[in-house]
Amino acid sequence: MSLSVTKMAPELVSPCDPTPTDNLLPLSSMDKTAPVGFMLDLALVYGHGHEPAKVIRGALSRALVPYHPVAGRIVASDKGEVEVASTATGVWFVEASADCTLEDVNRLERPLSVPAAELLPQAPTKADSEGLILLVQVTEFKCGGFAVGIRFNHAIFDGVGAGQFFQAVGEMARGLPQPTTKPVWCREAIPSPPKASRDDHDPPFFTPPRFVETVYDVSLDSINLIKNEYVKETGRKCSTFDAVAAALWQSRTRAIGIEFHADVCVGLVADVRNLMGDVLPAEGGYYGNCVYPTGVTASSDMIVHASLVEVVDLIKEAKKLLSAKMADWFRGDPREEPSKPRMDYGALCLTDWSRVGFAEVDYGWGDPIHVVPLIGEGHPIASAIFLKPPVPQRGLRVMASCVIEEHQSAFNDEMMKLA
């Protein structure tokens, strides 16, 4: 079946009321660790809605009043620092229609039957894309369902921040006069570490493998089995993230067959808002980057032969050290400065999207059927994203892009044990 998506010309959606337009807003030290211009792409899929493009366009315009920096543009200051010009220029918005039903494309489950680019918005020209913070596309399907394609600039939002913003858009769509959570910019409150003098060396040249993208649904029974075993052996509890991260890391290490003496590592990107209570508002609302990377390295032999309880312990220990490592970075310790991730096949990066708020964005017709990260091909690092599974499933969904084709069968066999 030939499927096509027809897009209307992009339109700028600006704040519906006057907002400040003469100020430059600085980014935080954490914002600056994210690559400026790097857009994170995803789609939220909904089973039904009435004129969703019209509703979401209007709600977006209202949400951009309290979130007025999002309608601005990223610029460079006279000193070369990255800032946001609060210009109220607006967010590019695209209305689109597909000549098929969601069922025809398997509700946009993997593998995608529609190219990701068809679901994602683009600015009209390259000149119009300079300094963009956010783009939105609403694609309506013949069945009445729709998908909201989102591209957001990582230098302005982390996942929690973007989830907060789109929940606010949902609240505006449902008729609330103001977002339940009041947004705060507050970037200047994040400590700025002293400039550390150190030698930066480019990493060795690395040709990224072509990773196979797969999706696995880890059952609640499997998660509880790991949790219960951990409690039984240690007398302590572990989180769902800890349990699935340990199982995934071990499964991948076994599948890729790396030499036993070689090191493998897992990198975690953690939300640290709970550690920033002395500088961020207690009532929440901060939507900038508030994440810090941590990780753990071990020999391949150890991870392959360890019990899951032992692997969980390694991950928990890395998380336990997070507060001290971040404090050292804020004091100017160059050893703790967030750095480029390790670039080799033995490295794995994990991100948890199951609790950032995307799965709770309700425009008036209920929560999305599911959340679809649209990372695209060519991502240089083996990675996996944790997601809420589609309703009514329970457990955790893992979207993995972390093994090459020759290791896919072995990895699949390992992960099927968790189904």
Given this model, what pLDDT does residue 254 score? 97
Average pLDDT, the chain: 92
**Mean pLDDT computed over 297-323:** 95
| 82 belongs to a structural domain | yes
- Please indicate whether residue 209 or residue 361 has the higher confidence score (pLDDT): 361
Q: Is 204 exposed, middle or buried (0-12, 13-18, 19+ CB in 10 A)?
A: exposed
Quick check: 401 pLDDT over 60? Answer: yes
Residues 6+ apart with CB under 8 A from 154: 34, 35, 38, 39, 40, 289
| 132 belongs to a structural domain | yes
Of the three residues 132, 155, 189, the one that is the final residue of a domain is 189
Same domain (yes/no): 160, 223: no
Same domain (yes/no): 314, 261: yes
Quick check: 44 pLDDT over 60? Answer: yes
**Mean pLDDT computed over 42-68:** 98
Residues 6+ apart with CB under 8 A from 49: 55, 140, 144, 145, 146, 363, 364, 365
Q: What is the 3-state secondary structure (H, E, C) of the chain?
A: CCCCEEECCCEEECCCCCCCCCCEEECCCCHHHCCCCCEEEEEEEECCCCCHHHHHHHHHHHHCCCCHHHHCEEEECCCCCEEEECCCCCEEEEEEEECCCCHHHHHHCCCCCCCHHHHCCCCCCCHHHCCCCEEEEEEECCCCCEEEEEEEECCCCCHHHHHHHHHHHHHHHCCCCCCCCCCECCHHHCCCCCCCCCCCCCCCCCCCCCCEEEEEEEEHHHHHHHHHHHHHHHCCCCCHHHHHHHHHHHHHHHHHCCCCCCEEEEEEEEECHHHCCCCCCCCCCECCCCEEEEEEEEEHHHHHHCCHHHHHHHHHHHHHCHHHHHHHHHCCCHHHCCCCCCCCCCEEEEEECCCCCHHHCCCCCCCCCEEEECCCCCCCCCEEEEECCCCCCCEEEEEEEEECHHHHHHHHHHHHCCC
Please state the domain count of the chain: 2
Same domain (yes/no): 21, 140: yes
Given this model, what pLDDT does residue 129 score? 86
Same domain (yes/no): 158, 106: yes
Cβ 256 vs Cβ 211: under 8 Å: no
| 113 belongs to a structural domain | yes
Tell me the C-alpha distance between 374 and 115, whole Å: 10
Tell me the C-alpha distance between 268 and 59, whole Å: 34
pLDDT band with cut points at 50, 70 and 90 for residue 340: low
Given this model, what pLDDT does residue 169 score? 98
**Mean pLDDT computed over 383-396:** 93
Given this model, what pLDDT does residue 208 score? 73
What positions carry a catalytic annotation?
A: 154, 362
| 206 belongs to a structural domain | no
Quick check: 327 pLDDT over 90? Answer: no
| 203 belongs to a structural domain | no
Same domain (yes/no): 127, 16: yes
Give the tokens for residue 205. 């040249």
Same domain (yes/no): 255, 398: yes
| 173 belongs to a structural domain | yes
Quick check: 74 pLDDT over 80? Answer: yes
Same domain (yes/no): 165, 250: no
Give me the CATH number covering residue 137.
3.30.559.10
pLDDT in tens, 248-298: 999 999 999 999 889 999 999 889 998 888 899 989 999 999 998 889 999
Quick check: 205 pLDDT over 90? Answer: no
Tell me the C-alpha distance between 229 and 162, whole Å: 35
Given this model, what pLDDT does residue 1 score? 54
Selection from 138, 309, 155, 323 nearest residue 234 by Cα: 309
Given this model, what pLDDT does residue 201 score? 53
pLDDT band with cut points at 50, 70 and 90 for residue 307: very high
pLDDT in tens, 213-240: 999 999 999 999 999 999 999 999 999 9
Give the tokens for residue 400. 């993995």
Q: How many CB atoms lie within 10 A of CB 270?
A: 19
**Mean pLDDT computed over 96-113:** 94
Given this model, what pLDDT does residue 378 score? 60
Given this model, what pLDDT does residue 130 score? 87
By residue range, what is the domain housing residue 318?
212-416
pLDDT in tens, 114-159: 999 999 999 998 878 889 999 999 999 999 999 999 999 999 999 9
Given this model, what pLDDT does residue 389 score? 93
Same domain (yes/no): 285, 150: no
Quick check: 56 pLDDT over 80? Answer: yes
Residue whose structure tokens are 């990675």 = 383
Provide the CB-side half-sphere exposure for 212 (13 A, CA): 15
The model's pTM is 0.93
pLDDT in tens, 9-21: 999 999 999 999 8
Same domain (yes/no): 162, 286: no
Q: What amino acid is encoded at 166 in this protein?
A: F
**Mean pLDDT computed over 178-200:** 82
Q: Is 155 exposed, middle or buried (0-12, 13-18, 19+ CB in 10 A)?
A: buried
| 124 belongs to a structural domain | yes
Provide the greatest CA pair distance for the chain: 62
pLDDT in tens, 343-360: 789 999 999 999 999 999
Same domain (yes/no): 171, 217: no
- Please indicate whether residue 334 or residue 355 has the higher confidence score (pLDDT): 355
Given this model, what pLDDT does residue 204 score? 57
Same domain (yes/no): 410, 265: yes
Quick check: 198 pLDDT over 60? Answer: no
Cβ 57 vs Cβ 135: under 8 Å: no
| 385 belongs to a structural domain | yes
Same domain (yes/no): 137, 229: no
Give the tokens for residue 99. 């000549």
- Please indicate whether residue 397 or residue 270 has the higher confidence score (pLDDT): 397
Among 171-180, 326-335, 344-353, 406-415, the range scoring the smallest mean pLDDT is: 326-335
